[in-house]
Amino acid sequence: MSPNEGRIRSPFRALVQDFTPIWFTWCMNAGVIGILLHQLPYQFSGLPVLSTIAFVVDLVLFIIFSAIMITRFIWFGRQAYYEITDNINDLALGACWPIAWQTLSALTCLIVSNASWGGHAFTLVGYAMWWIGTGWMVAYLLFTFLTLIRRRSVKDRKLPLTIVIPAVGVATVATTGGLIVSFADDISARLAVPIIIVSFMIVGIGLFMSIFLYTYLLHSLFVDGWPPAENIASVWVFLGPMGQPAAAIQLLSSAANKYGRFAGYNRGTFLTESAAEPLSVACILLALWLTGMGCVWALMAFAAMAEKAWQRQLMWTLSWNSIIFPTGTLTTSFLLFSIAMDSPAFRAVTTALVVLMVMCFFLNVGFAIRRVCQGRLLIVRRDPRQTDFENGHVD
């Protein structure tokens, strides 16, 4: 066998061996688009169908990608584990797996439980999925940062911007929880209140962890400037830590007040109807602060990509998937403002952003299919590990 033949793998082996958590961003993006289409303020008869299609895409991709990821761990074992955990970017992106699961739990309650053939049984399915996803996401957050601490991974490397994704993930748990307790079919206050309380606690975890990381990452930008052109789209992840908590606290307080979950529970001094209304007002005010900061990050991310485009360095990579979900968190916050304030301006902004997100999704699909057909993405038969070994780059 010649050296070149030794580096060529079968398509299936190449697919499994190189599969990384970043592919779950496709599920996340389809999920957030499905949620926004379902709740969009300007509805027409085709929107529920489009939302259901997005849900099906999310579900099918999640099943396929999960099967490939599990196969990688079964087939390659410790090699797969250490390749992911030794790469800080892949370690952070591992949070995309439970985030994608949580979008499915929310869509199950939004779409399936309210369908004519669905009903309360699927509310219970989505409810159980949410609790499973909550444990999964919090455990992964701890695993990520404990791994970085134990291995001292940043001693001679700087943290990638994607390190905020686990923090965004726990905030996503709260947002999906808010969707479930607000819109799931026939959910009782007894089921809803535990989700509301846990979700408020989890919002704090995600928000404060993100603020701690913001300090480090912003300092890195001041020192080193924007990321290289192939990773410039990752700047958009900065929107998530602001947009997701803003959406979450609005949904949770609305469930407590507007949908009567606290009134139905009516215990103590906090879980009462009289406490729900001021809670809702306070959460809207805090959401406005967070959304304002999110808008600043959005403008900075747009400026970063515009600068690379002006320099003719802008290129498409899978990191472009990081544009959609963070933007979706901010869009969800705008959507909820449009309801709370009965604001035509927020409704218009929400609709425009959803349209742009859908366009970006199909743009990413087009580029991804092209790269796959060229053998440059997903199924790359030449093993880069062998090349690194020959060049002396193996640790």
CB 335 within 8 A of CB 350: yes
Instruction: Please count the CA atoms within 13 angstroms of the CA of 36 that sit on its side-chain side.
Output: 30
What percent of the chain stands above pLDDT 90? Answer: 88
pLDDT at 101: 98
**End-to-end alpha carbon distance in the chain:** 26
pLDDT at 43: 83
Distance CA 116, CA 125 (A): 16
With a cut of 70, say whether residue 87 has pLDDT above it. yes
Q: For residue 253, which of 227, 279, 233, 271 has the smallest C-alpha distance?
A: 279
pLDDT at 221: 93
Cβ-Cβ contacts under 8 Å for 11 (sequence gap 6 or more):
379, 381
* ∠ Cα 161 319 100 (to 5°): 90
Residue type, 214: Y
Backbone angles phi, psi at 157, to 5 degrees: -135, 155
The tens digit of pLDDT for each residue in 198-221 reads: 999 999 999 999 999 999 999 999
Length of the chain: 395
DSSP assignment string, 98-165: HHHHHHHHHHIIIIITTSTT--HHHHHHHHHHHHHHHHHHHHHHHHHHHHHHHHTTTSSSPPPGGGGH
With a cut of 60, say whether residue 387 has pLDDT above it. no
pLDDT at 384: 79
Cα dihedral 73/170/168/32 (nearest 10): 80
Q: Enumerate domains of the chain plus CATH numbers.
A: 19-379 (1.50.10.150)
With a cut of 90, say whether residue 382 has pLDDT above it. no
Q: Compute CA distances 148 → 86, 118, 152, 219, 366, whole Å.
A: 9, 43, 6, 19, 35
The tens digit of pLDDT for each residue in 283-324 reads: 999 999 999 999 999 999 999 999 999 999 999 999 999 999
- Averaged pLDDT of the chain: 93
Tokens of 255: 């469930």
The whole-number average pLDDT for the span 381-386 is: 80
Backbone angles phi, psi at 328, to 5 degrees: -65, -35
How would residue 6 be classed by pLDDT, with cut points 50, 70 and 90?
very low
CA 301 to chain centroid? 17
10: left (phi over 0), alpha (psi -120 to 50) or beta: beta
With a cut of 70, say whether residue 4 has pLDDT above it. no
Sign of torsion, CA 377 382 388 394?
A: positive
CB 194 within 8 A of CB 232: no
The tens digit of pLDDT for each residue in 136-147 reads: 999 999 999 999
pLDDT at 395: 41
The whole-number average pLDDT for the span 19-46 is: 94
Task: Using DSSP, state whether 310 is helix, strand or coil.
Answer: helix
